[in-house]
Amino acid sequence: MNERLKYLRKELLHLTLKDFGDRIGVSHSAISNIENGARGVTGQMLTSICREFGVREEWLRTGEGEPFGAQTRNQKVQAFANRVMAEEDDSFKKRLVDALSELDESEWALLEQIALRSVKRD
């Protein structure tokens, strides 16, 4: 389970030890100890990980099946936001999200019109 936890944190969620630990209420050193096999995952921690990140408990315990079940739109947006926040400050994705955060309602409406027009052209 320790290797799946490390894979989940680094490769799927793109989170630091600290960020991952903060999200489930434990220290970065606790996560490091689990990933390195020095400690095991408690039942409470397993529940927190599955709930916070939408991970299937069966996959985390055994490696069987897919790591994530069907995600809601909010879960997908949250996962994307986590990946963007883990990128360098000058990355295109982070700059784009920053620019989008500054739009007012009329600019959002204009952006929606542009997006809808581009879809109709296909």
Length of the chain: 122
8-54: pLDDT as tens digits: 999 999 999 999 999 999 999 999 999 999 999 999 999 999 988 88
Residues 55 and 80 in one domain: no
Residues 80 and 56 in one domain: no
67: in domain: no
pLDDT grade for 122, boundaries at 50, 70 and 90: low
Q: What is the mean pLDDT of the chain?
A: 92
Query: Could you write out the DSSP letters of every residue in 85-106?
Result: HHS-TT-HHHHHHHHHHT--HH
pLDDT grade for 104, boundaries at 50, 70 and 90: very high
Predicted confidence at residue 76, as pLDDT, reads 81
Predicted confidence at residue 108, as pLDDT, reads 96
Residues 54 and 89 in one domain: no
Full domain range(s) for residue 108: 73-120
pTM of the model: 0.59
Residues 78 and 114 in one domain: yes
Predicted confidence at residue 106, as pLDDT, reads 97
